[in-house]
Structure 1
Amino acid sequence: IEVRPATMDSAIAVDRKKRSARAVKFFDVSKDDEIVVGHQGVRVVPVQRSTSRTDVFQFINTIIDADEPKSAVIRELGRELQHVRKTKGKIAVVGGPAIVRTGAGEHLVRLIESRYVDRLFAGSAFAVYDVERALFGTSLGMSPDLAFARGGHENHMRAINTIRESGGIATAVKKKVLTRGIMHACVLHKVDIVLTGSIRDEGPIPGVTTDVVEAQKIMREKLADVTHVLLLGTVQHSLAVASMLAPTVKTVCVDIDPSAVEKAVEHQPLQSIGLVTDVEPFLRELADCLVDAEANRADGRKK
C-alpha cells in the first residue's frame, strides 16, 4: 500500500477496509485512527534520479553561490517552466516582502500575466507592502526613489485600512481602488492567493488566515497538485512550505542569505536548486527570458 501524500514529519494512518494509507500531521489524528508504530512492514523508496540529464534539476541539484554565474541556470529554469505550463503542471511562488522592497514586484507581475504563476503563498506583510507600493509608492514607508518619503511611515497603516475598508483585496480590485501591483495581477489572472498571519502583523487585512493550524491545512491543500515551487526572499515561509512538499516537487530557492538557501535546499536535496543572490535580478532575468520567448513565438506565428 502506497502512502499518499508522501510528506515529512507525519504519521501514517492506515484504513484496512479501503486498503489505503495516508500521511497525517499529529493534529489531524482522530480517535480510532490506526497509526503505524515502529519500522517493521514499512519500506522507504527514495526518489530516483534521472540519468538522461535533460532536466536542470537533475544535473545541477546544488547551490549557486553569490560569486558564481547564474544566467545559464536561469535560462534552463525558464525552459523548464515553459514545459511545465505546456504540460499543465502547477507553479507556486512563495514570496517575501523583499520582492516588493527591492523593486522586483513588476517582474513577478510579468510572470503572473504570462500565466507562469498558479498559486501565491505569502505572509500578510507581503500583501500589505505590495498594496502600499501600489497606492502610495512606498513599502513600509520607504520609497525606491527617495531615501525617506515625506509621511511615508503612515502609508503602511493607510494601506491596511484601505483594504479593510474595501472588504478585501479582491473587492478592492473590483472597486478599482487597487489598480496595479502583484495582488492586483493575481486577482485579475485568477491566481490562488494564500495569505497567512504572524505574531508581528498589523491589521490583519481580510483574507489572511491567522489560525496556525488552519493555515497549515489550507497550505497543504493548495500544495497538493503543485509540481514546481519558487521560494523567493523569505526564510521562514520558504521553510514552512518546503516541509509540506512531496519529494517529487521541484523547488528553486533564491535568497541573499546563503544559510537561508542551504536550509531550504536541505528539504528537497534531489529536486532543488539554490541561488544566493538578490531576488530582483533573478526575477528580472527570468521574466525577460520567458516574456521574450513568448514575444518571439508570437512574432513567428504572425510571419
Structure 2
Amino acid sequence: MTVARTVELQGHIIDSGMMQRCFGVVMDMGGAFEVEEFDVGRHKDEETYCRMTVSADAEEDLVGILHELHQNGATLADPRDATLKPAPADQVVPDAFYSTTNHPTEVRVDGEWVSVDRIEMDCAVVVDPGEGDEPTTARTKVLNAIDEGDLVVVGETGIRVKPPERPRDASGPFGFMQGGVSSERPSESLIRQVAEALAETKERGGKVLVVAGPAVIHSGAGDALARLVREGYVDMLSAGNGFATHDIERNLYGTSLGMDMETMEHPRKGHKHHIYTISEVIRAGGIAEAVDEGLITEGVMYECIESGVDYVLAGSIRDDGPLPDTITDAVEAQNAIREQAHEADLVVMLSTLLHSVAVGNCLPSTTRVVCVDINPATVTQLLDRGSSQAIGMVTDVGTFVPSLADQVLGSEACGGAEERSEAGE
C-alpha cells in the first residue's frame, strides 16, 4: 500500500539548486513525486513555488524521505505544532529528539512559528512557553546543557528549515562567494574582495573572528595579523596553545618552533625556546601580566591585550605547558568558542583544521566564512561542514595575511603605524 504526503518548496529554488536536490532525494531513496503546482519566479526579485506529493511503498520509507526533504528546505503543506516532551533528567533528551542543522530554523507552537535562537548543528531545540504576557521562545542547547524538565522538540513535525539561498547576482562584498575551492582562481582579486568584506563588516558595526593556527607565525604572517588587530579589524581570536606560544616565542627569542624567523636557521637550543617561553609566561602569571611587566612587547597576543580583543585559547592533549591562559577543560573551551561563534559576523580561518572545525560546528550557515590553507583537502573539509556563505582559498597564509593587511590598511596605515612606533621610542 502506497503512503503519501504533500510538501512545498518556496524561494529561489531553481537557481539555488534546492528543487533539483529535493527531486534527487525522492528518487534516490526509492520514492516517487508528482508536481501539483509550479509557479516560476521570472524576475530576480520573484520567488518560485512548487507543491508536490511524495509517495513511498511504506510509512518508514516515506518518513526517511521527508526527513531528507526537510533538511533541504521542504515543508509539509499541512503544518502541525511541534511535539514537545520534557527532558527526563539533566543532560538526557527524550527519545527521537530533533537534531538541528545549522540553517535558520523555526518551530510551530500553538499555531505560531517561532524562530530558534542561537542556531547551530547537532543540538536539541528547547521551547520556553513563557509566562503571562511573555512570548514563547525557542533556542538550541547542546546535550550536556539540557536541564531536567526542559521542553525538547521531538520528531520533525512542526519544524521549518530555511537553507540560505545563493545570491541571484554578484553584487555586494560577498557576491563572489559562490565558487567553491580552487587553487587556480586569481588570488589577488579574491584577497581584495575579502578585504572589502572585512572593511564592510567593520563599517556596519559587525564583529570579525579570526581562527589562527601556528602556521601563521611559522610562515612569517604574525606581524600582518598583529597589524590588523592593532588597527581594529579583529574583534575576537580563536586559537590554541601552540599559536600563542610561538607568537610570544618569536617576540622573546626571534624564533618560531626553534627556527630563526630572519635567517631560517635553527640556533643551538632553539628547540627549547617554546618551553622557555611558556615558563616565562607562567612565572609572570599569564599573558596579560607578562605584557604589563614588559616581558611581551609585540606580536598578535600583545596586540590582543593592548586592544582588549577577546581571545580563546583552547587546549589539547598534546600541549606543552600549557600557557596559563589556555583552557584545558574541553567542555569549557567549547562553550567559550560557542560564545565567540554566535557573535561573529565574519570568520577568517587561517591554516588550522582542528580549531576551524571546532568553530565551524558552532556557526549558523548564514555566517560569512573565509577559509585559507595550503592543503586543498583541509579547505574542502571545512567548507563541506555546511556554511553556504563561504569561500575557500588554497594558498600560503604567509602570503595571504600580509596581502590582506595591505589591502585593508594600505600604505597610509603602514606609515601611521611606523610613526606611532617612532613616537613610542
What does 1:140-289 align with in structure 2 at a 5 Å threshold?
A: 140-144=257-261, 145-289=263-407
Task: Give the drift of 1:291.
Answer: 1.2
Aligned residues of 1:63 and 1:261 also touching (Cα < 8 A): no
1:293 positional shift: 7.0
Which structure has the highest strand share of the two? 2
Distance 1:124 1:172 in 2: 16
Flag the 1:292–1:238 CA change in 2: closer, same or farther, 3 A.
same
Q: For 2:355, what is the secondary structure of its paired residue?
A: helix
Q: Is the 8 Å Cα contact of residues 120 and 140 (structure 2) preserved in structure 1?
A: yes
* Structure-1 separation of matches of 2:406 and 2:176: 24
How far residue 26 of structure 1 moved from its aligned partner, in angstroms, is 0.8
Between the aligned partners of 2:354 and 2:247, the Cα distance in structure 1 is 19
8 Å CA contact retained: 1:141, 1:152: yes
Whole-Å Cα distance in 2 between the matches of residues 252 and 222 of structure 1?
16
Report the 3-state secondary structure (helix = DSSP H, G, I; strand = E; otherwise coil) of the residue aligned with 1:206: coil
Q: Which of 176, 182, 190 is 1:65 aligned to?
A: 182
Q: Is the 8 A contact 2:181 2:379 kept in 1?
A: no
**Distance in 2 separating the partners of 1:248 and 1:19:** 24
Letter in 2 for 1:282: F
Q: 2-side partners of 1:78 and 1:158: how far apart? A: 37
Counterparts of 2:201 and 2:192 in 1: how far apart (Å)?
A: 14
Match of 1:301 in 2: none
| C-alpha distance in structure 2 between counterparts of 1:183 and 1:265, whole Å | 27
The reply on whether 1:7 has 2:144 as its aligned counterpart is no
CA contact (8 A) 2:181 2:376 kept: no
Q: Is the 8 A contact 1:58 1:270 kept in 2?
A: no
Partner Cα separation in structure 1 for residue 179 and residue 153 of structure 2: 34
Per the TM alignment, residue 189 of structure 1 is displaced from its structure 2 partner at its CA by 1.2
Q: Does 1:53 align with 2:170?
A: yes
Moved >4 Å (runs of 4+)? 293-296
Report the equivalent of 2:222: 105
Residues in 2 aligned to 1:268 and 1:58: alpha-carbon distance in whole angstroms: 18
1:34, CA displacement in angstroms? 1.1
- Residues 73-99 of structure 1: CA distance to partner in whole angstroms, max 9, x if unpaired? 110111111111111100000000000
**Contact 1:99–1:280 (Cα < 8 Å) also in 2:** yes
Distance 1:210 1:174, change over 3 A: same
Q: 2:147 matched to which residue of 1? A: 30
Counterparts in 2 of 1:65 and 1:46: CA distance versus 1, 3 Å:
closer
1:136 to 242, 249, 253: 253
- 1:40 aligned to 132, 138, 157, which one? 157
> In structure 1, what is the Cα distance between the partners aligned to 2:230 and 2:176?
30
Task: Please state how far the C-alpha of 1:56 moved relative to its aligned partner.
Answer: 4.1
Q: 1:16 aligns with which of 125, 129, 140?
A: 129
Q: Which amino acid aligns with 1:249?
A: T
Between stretches 110-119 and 10-19, larger displacement belongs to 10-19
Question: Partners of 1:131 and 1:61 in 2: how far apart?
Answer: 37
Give TM-score scaled by structure 2 length. Answer: 0.68
Greater Rg, structure 1 or structure 2?
2
Partner Cα distance (1:260, 1:77) in 2: 19
Gaps of 5+ in 2: 1-113, 417-425
CA drift at 1:45: 1.4
Equivalent pair of 2:177/2:389 in contact (CA under 8 Å): no
Q: Which amino acid aligns with 1:34?
A: L
- Is the CA contact (8 Å cut-off) linking 2:211 and 2:239 kept in structure 1? yes
Mean alpha-carbon deviation: is it higher for 85-94 or for 60-69? Answer: 60-69
RMSD of aligned alpha carbons: 1.6
Is 2:229–2:304's contact at 8 Å kept on the other side of the alignment? yes
Q: Secondary structure at the match of 2:377?
A: helix
